[in-house]
Amino acid sequence: MTTRSTQKTTNEPTIEPDGEQALLFDMDGVILEGYGTDPDVHTRALHDAVVDLGLEAPLESLSALETYEYTEAFQTTCEDLDLDPADFYALREEYSSKRATERIRDGARGLYTDVDALEELECTHSVGLVSNNYDPTVSFVVEYFGLEAFSFVRGRDLGVEGFRRRKPEPYYIETALEALGLDNGIYVGDRETDLLAAQNAGLVPVLIRRPHNEALEPSVDSYLEIDSIEELLELL
């Protein structure tokens, strides 16, 4: 991978070396390998929900219900089936979370090797994990891989409200800051939505480069850039 500068922006943000800062991380693509949850997880979860409710409808006619997003098509399809869209979305997401957890337990996704640096970082900073992934899945990842460096762990709630609060909304990052009793720090992510969420929460955005986002050119005008979690040991 091409070596990059750890500082790339038009209006470069600064990080003061202060132990009273929150050091928050995204999970998918930052801690856990891979860009995100395999779409097949939601397809299988839809089948689980259909069986659960005993729906009699061909799966091919339900394609709008297997998307991650809560869309207008999702709502319309549910209404055509006399289903409450919000209730069915929450049920489908419950099964999506279970399916995602099963894939991780089966070895489909592991940790990036530079995650070991978290142990040193937690000695000087309050380290937290804030993800758009489902809260039960995020909690499972932390427990399954023994990620004890995280003093705060939060994924999004299942259902429509959780979907609407996902990044770039700052809701869950602000929840982390409140829980940690801090109001400044940095947020490390691999997507533009992560950088925007950090800005919206008043944190310094940090983009970490991984194989899946090498070509990403964020439109955010002020962020720092790193190639490894280990670089934070020097940056902080």
| Mean model confidence pLDDT for the chain | 92
**Same structural domain, 165 and 220:** yes
**Same structural domain, 78 and 136:** no
**Same structural domain, 118 and 228:** yes
**Same structural domain, 132 and 201:** yes
Going by their DSSP bridges, the two strands 185-189 and 22-25 should be labelled as parallel
Looking at the predicted structure, is the pLDDT value of residue 196 above 80? yes
Name the CA dihedral angle for 102, 105, 106, 112, rounded to a multiple of 10 degrees: 120
Instruction: Write down which residue in 78, 105, 132 finishes a domain.
Output: 105
**Same structural domain, 131 and 154:** yes
pLDDT at 15: 67
pLDDT at 5: 42
> What is the pTM assigned to this prediction?
0.91
Instruction: Write down which residue in 105, 134, 154 finishes a domain.
Output: 105
Question: Is residue 116 in some structural domain?
Answer: yes
**Same structural domain, 96 and 131:** no
Question: Is residue 229 in some structural domain?
Answer: yes
Question: Is residue 17 in some structural domain?
Answer: no
Question: Which residue range forms the structural domain that includes residue 75?
Answer: 39-105
**Same structural domain, 69 and 140:** no
**Same structural domain, 166 and 140:** yes
Separation of alpha carbons 87 and 185, rounded Å: 37
Question: Is residue 12 in some structural domain?
Answer: no
Domain with 141 in it: what CATH number?
Answer: 3.40.50.1000
**Same structural domain, 214 and 114:** yes
Question: Is residue 171 in some structural domain?
Answer: yes
Nearest one of 30, 8, 23, 42 to 193, comparing CA atoms: 30
pLDDT at 127: 97
**Same structural domain, 117 and 224:** yes
Which amino acid, residue 25?
F
Question: Is residue 14 in some structural domain?
Answer: no
Per the structure, how many domains does the chain have?
A: 2
* pLDDT tens digits along 66-83: 999 999 999 999 999 999
Looking at the predicted structure, is the pLDDT value of residue 115 above 60? yes
pLDDT at 2: 38
Separation of alpha carbons 177 and 161, rounded Å: 20
pLDDT at 164: 97
Question: Is residue 6 in some structural domain?
Answer: no
* pLDDT tens digits along 203-229: 999 999 999 999 999 999 899 999 999
Looking at the predicted structure, is the pLDDT value of residue 17 above 70? no
**Same structural domain, 51 and 93:** yes
Per-residue pLDDT averaged across 57-67, rounded? 86
Question: Is residue 83 in some structural domain?
Answer: yes
Separation of alpha carbons 15 and 123, rounded Å: 17
Separation of alpha carbons 87 and 49, rounded Å: 11
